[in-house]
Each structure stands twice: as structure tokens, then as C-alpha cells.
């Protein structure tokens, strides 16, 4: 999953940050988005639903409007590490030569299902470093604060640009 954004402050209005949540179907993009917006975990969500939600946040004492785009991919990709590589490749292709590079976060979800883990933390860290992303692991059904932390980190990355 990857955060990408751009700020655009107008006078005293809070800056905006756009975050696009990309990933394979079933990886938990909607669950994470809804968790961030409502603090709740919803178990079933229409996998074809795609929407953008807005929320006013305070990140490091500064207000920001975070627009979260929860995407739905029509291609059915494998829900493994190999499944998320095409997204990284497409992003790399489309942002080639851009300076600064749009910030990316590689996010592993469902850490509550540790015993069914298919991707080691190490593999995640390695893939993230290959594509110049930050890397986190979370769960949409565990604590709200670690999910919020990831989205706030996306805002910080955008501010660093």
C-alpha cells in the first residue's frame, strides 16, 4: 500500500494531503481506510467500491486535510509480495525523473494473523528499500493508533518534499 500526496495551502486554509491506497484485492485497503476515518474495523466491504474520503487531522501540531483515495483494482493479483510489485513498478515508471519523488509507503496489513504470515518482515523491508519506500506493518482490526500513525507518517513525508 502506498501513500502519495501533495500539499497546497491557500492563505489560512489547512494544507491538503492526498493519499492513494493501492494494493491487491482483499489486502485490506478499505478496512484500513475506514479504520483511519472512523476508528472502527468493518469486516465486509464491497471489493469494487472506490471512493475518496476527507478528514481533518492534526499532525505535529499542524492541521491538515487528508484525502484518502481507497482504490479498487480490476486486475486480480496474487495477494502476496509478488502481487504488490506491479504497483511499485507502475509507480516507478510514472514518476521516473520527477524531483522530488512522490513519497511511498509499503504497508503490510493483517499482522493479527501472524500464524498465517506469508511474507517475512525482512522481505518487506528489503522490497521497500529497493523502491525507496518507508515500510510498516499494521492490522486494521487491532489498535487505531498504529493505523493512524501510518497515515500521519504519509503526511510527514509529503511535508518533507
β-partners of residue 15 are 64
Quick check: 45 binds ligand GDP (CB under 6 A)? yes
Q: Residues 30, 73, 127, 158: which binds Mg ion (CB under 5 A)?
A: 30
Q: Which is nearer to ligand GDP, 45 or 144 (CB)?
A: 45
Scanning 22-30, 53-61, 94-102, 134-142 for contacts with Mg ion by CB under 5 A, the matching segment is 22-30
Q: Residues 3, 28, 102, 108: which binds ligand GDP (CB under 6 A)?
A: 28
Sign of CA dihedral 82, 133, 70, 147: positive
27 interface partner picked from ligand GDP, Mg ion, none, CB below 5 to 8 A per type: ligand GDP
Alpha-carbon span 53 to 161, nearest angstrom: 23
Amino acid at each position: 500500500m502506498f501513500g502519495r500526496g501533495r500539499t497546497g495551502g491557500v492563505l489560512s486554509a489547512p494544507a491538503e494531503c492526498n493519499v492513494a491506497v493501492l494494493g491487491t484485492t482483499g489486502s485490506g485497503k478499505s478496512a484500513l481506510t475506514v479504520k483511519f476515518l472512523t476508528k472502527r474495523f468493518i469486516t465486509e466491504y464491497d471489493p469494487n467500491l472506490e471512493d475518496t474520503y476527507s478528514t481533518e487531522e492534526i499532525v505535529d501540531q499542524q492541521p491538515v486535510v487528508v484525502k484518502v483515495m481507497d482504490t479498487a483494482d480490476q486486475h486480480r493479483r496474487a495477494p502476496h509480495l509478488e502481487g504488490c510489485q506491479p504497483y511499485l513498478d507502475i509507480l516507478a515508471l510514472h514518476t521516473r525523473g520527477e524531483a522530488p519523488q512522490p513519497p511511498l509507503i509499503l504497508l503490510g496489513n493483517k499482522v493479527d494473523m501472524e500464524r498465517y504470515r506469508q511474507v517475512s518482515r525482512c522481505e518487506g523491508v528489503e522490497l521497500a528499500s529497493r523502491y525507496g519506500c518507508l515500510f510498516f506493518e499494521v492490522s486494521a482490526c487491532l489498535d487505531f493508533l498504529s493505523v493512524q500513525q501510518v497515515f500521519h507518517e504519509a503526511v510527514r513525508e509529503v511535508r518533507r518534499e
